[in-house]
Structures are given as C-alpha cells and as structure tokens.
Amino acid sequence: MKVSLRISHILMAFVFLAFSVNGYPAPALFKIEKQGASSYLFGTVHVGDASMKGLPQKVTNALGNSKQVVVEVDISKLSPLQMQQRSMPYMLLNNGRTLQSELSTENYQLLKDYFAKKSIDIAMFNSFKPWAVMLTMMQIEFQNAGYSDKNGIDKQVLDYAQQNNIKIAELETIEQQLQMFNGLESLSNAMMAETFEQLSDINTYFISLVNAWKQGDMKTLTSYYHTSFDNSQYGQQSEQVMLIERNNNWVTQLTPKLEQGNIFIAVGALHLVEQHGLIKQLRDQGFTVTQL
C-alpha cells in the first residue's frame, strides 16, 4: 500500500495537481445534476510544482457558475501559528511514550539514519507520534522534488474563491483530519516501513500517479486505489478510516447542498473513485455525474 496517497490529505493542510492554463484539460472535473440543479466535483492534489500555477479554464468557468466552494478543510482561514496550535495536541505523544518506544528497533534505526543524512538530529522528534514524523519526511521529499502547497490545487481554488467573493464551506476540521491518523497508531510500524519503501522511488509512488491524474485517467487512478488499499490489515483499516468513513460523512453533508445546486466541490481525487467513492455514492442518490 502506498502511503503517499493517505498522507496527501493532510500534507500542507496538513497530493492530486492541475495543469497551467495554456491548452491543458481539466482532469477529474465532473458535473453533477439532479432535477435541474447542477454543481461541480473536482478531484485535486494538495501540492504542486511551478508548472501547475493557474487553474484550467474549465475549472474557472465552473467556479464562476458556483455560489459556494466546498473543500475538505478551509486552510485559508488559518495562519501558520493557528495551524501549529491546533495541530500539536494531536501530534505529540504522552504518558512517557517516545518515538523510539513506538517503533521497532529496525524502523527507529532507519529513521535515525534518514535524518542523519539530512543533518537533522532525530532527538528533536522524540515526543512526536510516528505518523507526525512521517508527514515531515514526506514534506521534505516533496519539497526536494519541487512540490509545495503553494502550487496545490486546493489552495488555488480557495484563492480564486476569495478573490471572487465566492462563499467557502468546509467538510471537516483540521482536528478531524489529524484524528484519523490517531486511529492508525497501532499500525505505526507498518506505516513507517512502507513510507521508507515509497521514499526509495518517489517517481513510482507519486509522480507517475500525478501524470495519470493530469490526463484525467480515472481507470489508472482506480487501479492505484486498489494497490494502495490492499487486503492487508493496514490497507483495510486505512481505507476505512481515511476514505470510507469520510466519504460517507461528506455525502450526507453534500446531498442537500447539491439538491439546491450551484456549488463547486474540491476534494482529493482518490475520494472520487470506487464503490465507496463520491461519484458512485452520488449516483446512488439519484444524481447524474458526468466527466467534463
């Protein structure tokens, strides 16, 4: 199971990217219709590189036809200090637990070696939960590969909404997003081991996936979903906590809004696919969902 997709929902909001405006399609953009009311669903990535600045015309057109933008978390209303203050209680260990006590000897040594190569003393993470350290590792690797939250599609959508006075609503809080990682604490060693596997070839585990997203290749994204959330205990529990439970909750919130119409939903692309995805669930609710 590829950890990057699960981490992506939190990175820098705590990664599904758009093309620049010049001649590229709008991948993973869908129109949702029911009884004359229409809205839009956009699968995103939370980080991007410099070439991804600027939303595609199809997306800005859809935004222009919308009265409200709905995102996972409205990070635009949080300052870096507020983000830190609200996040830290969820990221820190307590009751005498340490990072070393939470990991196997092998995983802790791998982690120590990883940070040593980057001239970082692992002691600074002694009080942090393994998943919080994992987020730091992924952030370092994404930045080294040229990706940042500043070019992420979620941020660009939020910026557009603010600049054009479109109302913004969020599906959950930053605390709820962080709490889902606490639901996976018992699987910290499995998560850390697969993070190291992923870091050994970021091109395979992230950049190739981004390329599929850019093409609006939902078949490849669906295949990647199955690879990510396999039949292992970690795969099944991660799917339940990070996708299924959240998708079910979101559909409950979104249905009355969609029945009114004129909303633009922007969420991570893997929330769209498969039997528990937003597309199928909305179709089951009687909505027509068409890829644009």
Per-residue pLDDT tens over the stretch 29-40: 999 999 999 999
- Report how far apart, in Å, the C-alpha atoms of 111 and of each of 6, 114, 234 are: 20, 5, 20
- In this predicted structure, what is the pLDDT of residue 203? 63
User: Which of these, 2, 16, 5, 6, lies nearest to 149 by C-alpha position?
Assistant: 16
CA angle in degrees (0–180, nearest 5) for 225-231-232: 110
Beta carbons of 16 and 28 less than 8 angstroms apart: yes
Average pLDDT over residues 173-201: 84
CA distance 93 to 253: 33
Model confidence at 24, in pLDDT bands (50, 70, 90)?
A: very low
252-265 pLDDT per residue, tens: 999 999 999 999 99
* Whether pLDDT at 18 is above 60: no
Beta carbons of 57 and 18 less than 8 angstroms apart: no
Which residues make beta-bridge pairs with 36? none
Residue with tokens 């690797």: 141
Model confidence at 2, in pLDDT bands (50, 70, 90)?
A: very low
Q: Looking at per-residue confidence, does 136 or 288 come out higher?
A: 288
- In this predicted structure, what is the pLDDT of residue 257? 97
In what side-by-side order are the strands of the sheet with 29-34?
A: 167-170, 68-71, 263-268, 37-44, 29-34, 288-291
Beta carbons of 43 and 28 less than 8 angstroms apart: yes
Q: Looking at per-residue confidence, does 59 or 24 come out higher?
A: 59
The two tokens of residue 205 are: 């585990």
Average pLDDT over residues 10-29: 42
Model confidence at 5, in pLDDT bands (50, 70, 90)?
A: very low
- In this predicted structure, what is the pLDDT of residue 54? 84
Which residues make beta-bridge pairs with 290? 31
CA distance 88 to 127: 11
Helices (H) and strands (E) in the chain, counts: 15, 6
Residue with tokens 């991804």: 52
CA distance 98 to 181: 17
CA distance 15 to 206: 8
136-176 pLDDT per residue, tens: 888 888 888 887 788 788 889 999 999 999 999 999 998 99
- Report how far apart, in Å, the C-alpha atoms of 56 and of each of 6, 49, 152, 271 are: 26, 15, 13, 21
Q: Looking at per-residue confidence, does 9 or 49 come out higher?
A: 49
User: Which of these, 142, 137, 121, 173, lies nearest to 13 by C-alpha position?
Assistant: 173
The two tokens of residue 62 are: 């859809």
192-248 pLDDT per residue, tens: 887 787 776 666 666 777 777 677 777 877 777 777 777 877 778 888 888 899 999
Which residues make beta-bridge pairs with 39? 32
Average pLDDT over residues 38-63: 87
User: How much is the pTM?
Assistant: 0.86
